[in-house]
A and B are shown apart, each in its own frame.
Chain A
Amino acid sequence: MSYQEIEDRYSTGVYPKRDVVIVRGEGAALWDENGRRYVDCVGGHGAANLGHCNPAVVKAVQEQVARLTDCTEIFHNDARARCLRKLVEVLPAGVDRIFLCNSGTEAVEGALKFARMATGRQEIVAFMRGFHGRTMGALSATWDPKYREPFMPLVPGFKHVPYDNVEAVREAVNDNTAAILVEIVQGEGGVRPGSAEFLLALAEISRESGALLIVDEIQTGFGRTGKMFACQHYGLTPDIVCLAKSIAGGLPMGAFALGPRVQNVIKMAHGSTFGGNPVACAASVAAIQYIQDENLPARAAELGAEFVARLRGIKADTVREVRGLGLMVGVELRQKATPLLRALMDRGVLALPAGPTVVRFLPPLVIERSELLGVADVVAELLSA
Chain B
Amino acid sequence: MAVCPECEAEIELKEAIKGEIVQCPDCGVELEVVSVNPVELAPAPEEEEDWGE
Contact = CB atoms under 8 A, between A and B. Distances in A.
Interface string B5-21: 00000000000010111
Interface in B6-53: 17, 19-23, 25-30, 44, 47-53
Contacts of A144: 28
B23 A355 contact: yes
A183 to B, nearest CB: 12
B49 A338 contact: yes
B30 to A, nearest CB: 5
A352 B53 CA distance: 9
Q: Which of B19, B23, B47, B51 is the most central at the interface, judged by chain A CB atoms within 10 Å of its CB? A: B51
Contacts of A187: 53
B53 A356 contact: no
A143 B23 CA distance: 13
A354 B21 CA distance: 14
Contact of B21 (A128, A146, A188, A336): A336
B21 A334 contact: yes
Q: For this complex, into which size category does the number of interface residues on chain A fall?
A: 20 to 34
A352 B47 contact: no
B17 A341 contact: no
A162 B9 CA distance: 13
A335 B32 CA distance: 9
A5 to B, nearest CB: 18
B49 A335 contact: no
A145 interface: yes
Contacts of B20: 334-335
Given A356-B23, A356-B44, A357-B23, A334 B17 contact: yes
Contact of A143 (B28, B44, B51): B28
Contacts of A338: 47, 49-51
B51 A352 contact: yes
A356 B46 CA distance: 10
A16 B49 contact: yes
Contact of A188 (B23, B25, B48, B52): B52
Contacts of A354: 52
A353 B17 contact: no
Nearest to A339: B47
B24 to A, nearest CB: 10
A335 B26 CA distance: 19
A317 interface: yes
A114 interface: no
B44 A341 contact: no
A162 B52 contact: no
Contact of A353 (B22, B29, B50): B50
Nearest to B45: A336
Nearest to A18: B51
Contacts of B52: 188, 352-355
A145 B47 contact: no
B51 A16 contact: yes
B6 to A, nearest CB: 10
B42 to A, nearest CB: 15
A357 B17 CA distance: 14
A341 B19 CA distance: 19
Contact of B50 (A16, A131, A145, A317): A16
Interface in A349-365: 352-357
Interface of B: 17, 19-23, 25-30, 44, 47-53
Given A129-B25, A188-B52, A334-B20, 6 more contacts: A16-B49, A144-B28, A352-B51, A352-B52, A352-B53, A353-B50
16 contacts: A16-B49, A18-B49, A129-B25, A129-B28, A143-B28, A146-B28, A162-B25, A190-B23, A334-B21, A338-B49, A352-B52, A352-B53, A353-B50, A353-B51, A356-B47, A357-B21
- The 3 closest A-B CB pairs, nearest first, are A334-B20, A16-B49, A188-B53
